[in-house]
Amino acid sequence: MQSNYIVIFRGGLCLFVTFFGLCFPVHSQLPAHARQLIVATSPDWKSHKANLQCWERDQDGVGGWRPALNKAWPVLLGRNGLAWGRGNFTPTNPDIPWKVERDGKAPAGVFELGSIHGYAALPPTGTTWPYFQVSQWDAWIDDPNLPTYNQLIRVDPQNVPPWFEKQRMRLGDNAYKWLIEIKHNTDPIKPGFGSAIFFHVRRGPDRPTAGCTTMAEEYLTALMRWLREDQHPCYVLLPKAEYDKARVAWRLP
């Protein structure tokens, strides 16, 4: 029987993690070019709540990270807490499982950001981050059996596939007014290891998610206005104890 464990091989600048026979490339710290950082820490691996703080640093990195946007704010996570996601990091606790599809857990680790997607015609005034307006024919695939798993696609209105109704993005509620893609399980995509992870508006002050990070609309709009593509922002999500262990090695605030 194959063991449930993580082994880290060190060679050159690359590390690899094996888990249930899978080999994933990871990196030991925050990308050096990141100048904006979103950090959320939860009390523990089982919690669906966290506090989020934005940070920024100068181009040369001198002086380290400084707080941005004045204050931290509360966010909501997966209904079953957190599991390791697939991003730019080395797991600090090999006893914690990897995120899988429909586990109800938010991916922990370090992640870059994709485009903002939304129902609205335009994002909030002042937003410069790339924006994609979602149409009624757009879908984000969360079915691991489909070849476009964890990808945004637009179907042909004249030839709508049978799976579209369950995969479509436009659901008609305020929670998906705007979504910022968290690039979990994207490089490369591994079917079954989690999909469609975003920042978006919460559905209630204490309503957890299936894996996304949600917040009050005022906080999401502030975040969208703050993001700058040339600053290469990243998102760090960890339980507080794991954050404290990783802070120096990952060069976090």
Question: Residue 201 in contact with residue 220, Cβ under 8 Å?
Answer: yes
Is residue 205 reached through a cis peptide bond, with omega within 30 degrees of 0 on the bond before it? no
Per-residue model confidence as pLDDT tens for the chain (253 residues):
333 333 333 333 333 344 433 444 444 468 888 999 999 999 999 999 999 999 999 876 666 899 999 889 999 999 999 999 999 888 888 899 999 999 999 999 999 999 999 988 889 999 999 999 999 999 999 999 999 999 999 999 999 999 999 999 877 788 999 999 999 999 999 999 999 999 999 999 999 999 999 999 999 999 999 999 999 999 999 999 999 999 988 889 9
Q: Which of 79, 126, 123 is nearest to 103 (CA)?
A: 79
Q: Which of 137, 90, 111 is nearest to 194 (CA)?
A: 111
How big is the CA angle at 68 (ends 218 and 127), to the nearest 5 degrees?
50
Provide the residue ranges of all domains of the chain, joining segments of one domain with +.
Answer: 30-246
Angstrom distance (rounded) from CA 29 to CA 209: 27
Token pair, residue 112, equals 């870059």
Alpha carbon 26 to chain centroid distance? 16
pLDDT value for 26: 42
Q: φ, ψ for residue 154 (rounded to 5)?
A: -115, 120
In order, the DSSP letters of 77-104 are -BTTBEEE-SSSS--S-TTSPBP-TTS-
pLDDT value for 171: 74
How large is the C-alpha radius of gyration of the chain?
18
Class of domain 30-246: mainly beta
pLDDT value for 174: 87
pLDDT value for 62: 64
Token pair, residue 122, equals 């335009």
In order, the DSSP letters of 108-136 are EEEEEEEEEEESSSS--TT--S-EEE--T
Q: Are strands 82-84 and 106-118 parallel, antiparallel or unpaired?
A: parallel
Q: Among positive and negative, which fits the CA dihedral 153, 156, 161, 165?
A: positive
How big is the CA angle at 106 (ends 218 and 45), to the nearest 5 degrees?
110
Token pair, residue 220, equals 């999401």
Residue 73, amino acid: W
